[in-house]
Amino acid sequence: MKKRVVITGLGVVSPVGIGLEQFWSSLTAGVSGIGPVTRFDPSGYSTKIAGEVKGFDPVDYFDKKEARRMDRFTQFAVAAAGMAVRDAALDLNHENRDRIGVILGSGVGGIETLEEQAKILAKKGPGRVSPLFVPMMIANIGAAQVAINYHLHGPNITSVSACASGSNAIGDAFKMLQWGQVDAMITGGAEAAISPLAMAGFCSMKAMSTRNSEPEKASRPFEIDRDGFVIGEGAAILVLETLEHARGRGARIYAEVAGYGCTCDAYHIAAPDPKGYGAANSMREALKDSGIKPGSVDYINAHATATPLGDEAETLAIKQVFGENAYNIAISSTKSMTGHLLGAAGGLEAMVCALAIHRGIIPPTINYEKPDPECDLDYVPNIARKATVDVALSNSFGFGGHNATLVIKRYF
């Protein structure tokens, strides 16, 4: 018998707020977290804006020595995990830590550390490269540091599937819980790729918005004047438990994870399949896994990064799965406010789905001013909507054709 899996804790470090309440109040108010890049001088870049995390001081979460031994993405991961564990009221002193694990997603890992140490190598030679370089840079170290901080001896894995990483991490954690391998999992994603090299790469691809004069209006999913994504950073961590375990300790339950699907476009290293084939199959597989009919879906948190090709392909994929009912489903892209958190995006957007269900509010797609005739669904434009959401989908699609979809439903 498959076990039921529920969400009991949420922790977030994001461009629109640190901590659950600030994050949610900003999203539902339609507040943008996009602004000029401050982490380095972007004057030579075609894109000079990003969704930076503001007000994050690592010494609020670690001592200075410990903070220096972590890349920024790891700092975000451990800080958000601490928030999620506290939010879940999970007393680890009374838990079997052999049956609690960590699966996180990160598309890039410690790129700031990589860049810093590459400069030291070039200027000062190999003898001056830090002995901590590799363990700070590798993408799995965020998950490892969470486990080390909480002495968790269960499975510890990192999903690296570009912008689908966070959703794949949650989906894999869900499956481990379903089959009874663990009692609880800390899962989600973390990313901190607002760095000179990463930004230069994305600029060279012409993948990012160049609406530098209006940062807050730059991320425009589904809108006809969209011109690319805006990079963001942060971490979003969820505590998942088997229903049996959560009930046994009297936990508060936000929502239930009901299904998971993942596919590959097998089409191109960066562009989506223009027919939406892989994305549609990801949604179909997730719904099949959940046993929920397409007609029962109330809300989709779209991957929608505001690229011309991507948003159109996702719209087409949704229509393939839901038919005429696609026009009756509320769809929003919270990337219009947070920017695109790459490997952390899936964690953030699964969290949005759980909160939409729990609190009865669907965050909007802001900056939606001129409709695109090819993107003609209900994108909850500009203003949050009060609604009863019983079933939500969270889509994540990444470079290389990686697709992942989560089905999250109201817990009864």
Instruction: List active site positions.
Output: 163, 303, 340
C-alpha dihedral, 344 to 169 to 10 to 359, nearest 10°: 90
